[in-house]
Amino acid sequence: MFGGNATLLDILVSRHTMCEGWRDGSEGAFFHLASVLLCLAYMGGSGVFGSIYIYSLMAVGFFCYALWGWLDACGVDIFAWNLLLVAACLLQLAHVTYRLRRDTLEEELDNLYKACYVPLEVPISVYKEIVKCCDGQVVTLSKDQNYAVEGKTPIDRLSLLLSGRIRVTLDGQLLHYIYSYQFLDSPEWESLRPTEEGKFQVTLTAETDCRYITWRRRKLYLLLAKERYIARLFSVMLGHDIAEKLYSLNDKLFSKCGFRFDIRLPSLYHVLGPSSSSGDSENEREKATAAAAAPLAGAHPQHSAPSAHKPAPLSPTSPTPTAPTPPSKAPWPESEATVVQPLSRSYPKVLFKARAPLAPTQTPEL
Instruction: State pLDDT tens for residues 25-45.
Output: 778 888 889 999 999 999 988
Asked if pLDDT for residue 345 goes beyond 80, the answer is no
Asked if pLDDT for residue 225 goes beyond 90, the answer is yes
Of residues 150, 141, 142, 155, the one with CA closest to residue 213: 141
| Kind plus residue range of the DSSP H or E element containing 174 | strand 173-178
Q: What is the pLDDT of residue 250?
A: 73
Burial state string for 205-243 with b = 16 or more CB within 10 A and e = fewer than 16: bbeeebebbbbebeebeebbeebeebeebbeebbeebbe
Give first-to-last CA distance, the chain, whole Å: 111
- Residue 91, phi then psi, degrees to nearest 5: -65, -45
The secondary structure of 190-241 as a DSSP string is HHS-TT---B-SSEEEESS-EEEEEEEHHHHHHHHHH-HHHHHHHHHHHHHH
Q: What is the mean pLDDT of residues 204-214?
A: 94
Q: What is the pLDDT of residue 10?
A: 67
Pairing of strands 146-148, 210-216: unpaired
Cα 189–Cα 190–Cα 191 angle in degrees, nearest 5: 95
Alpha helices in the chain (DSSP H): 8-13, 29-41, 47-71, 76-103, 107-112, 124-133, 186-191, 217-226, 228-250, 278-299, 332-346
Residue 356 is given by DSSP the state: P
Q: What is the pLDDT of residue 290?
A: 57
Asked if pLDDT for residue 338 goes beyond 50, the answer is no
Asked if pLDDT for residue 274 goes beyond 80, the answer is no
Residue 183 is given by DSSP the state: B
Q: What is the pLDDT of residue 270?
A: 44
CB 188, CB 199: distance < 8 Å: no
Q: What is the pLDDT of residue 291?
A: 55
Q: What is the pLDDT of residue 253?
A: 63
Burial state string for 35-46 with b = 16 or more CB within 10 A and e = fewer than 16: eebbeebeebee
CB 34, CB 68: distance < 8 Å: yes
Asked if pLDDT for residue 245 goes beyond 80, the answer is yes
Q: What is the mean pLDDT of residues 221-229?
A: 93
pLDDT tens string 137-190: 899 999 999 999 999 999 999 999 999 999 999 988 888 899 999 999 999 988
Q: What is the pLDDT of residue 73?
A: 82
Asked if pLDDT for residue 57 goes beyond 80, the answer is yes
The secondary structure of 40-59 as a DSSP string is HHTT--SHHHHHHHHHHHHH
Asked if pLDDT for residue 192 goes beyond 60, the answer is yes
108-250 in CATH: which number?
2.60.120.10
Of the ranges 9-23, 114-128, 161-175, which one carries the lowest mean pLDDT score? 9-23
Q: What is the pLDDT of residue 21?
A: 72
Average pLDDT, the chain: 75
Bridge-partner residues for 141, per DSSP?
A: 210
pLDDT tens string 281-299: 455 555 555 555 544 444 4
Asked if pLDDT for residue 238 goes beyond 70, the answer is yes
User: Rounded distance, CA 42 to CA 40, Å?
Assistant: 6
Using a cut of 0.75, tell me whether the model's pTM lies above it: no
Q: What is the mean pLDDT of residues 124-134?
A: 90
pLDDT > 70 fraction of the chain, expressed in percent and rounded: 63
Q: What is the mean pLDDT of residues 81-103?
A: 90
Q: Maximum Cα–Cα distance for the chain, whole Å?
A: 152
Of the ranges 7-16, 126-135, 242-251, which one carries the lowest mean pLDDT score? 7-16
| Kind plus residue range of the DSSP H or E element containing 176 | strand 173-178
Of the ranges 99-103, 148-152, 203-207, 305-309, which one carries the lowest mean pLDDT score? 305-309
* Higher pLDDT, residue 198 or 268: 198
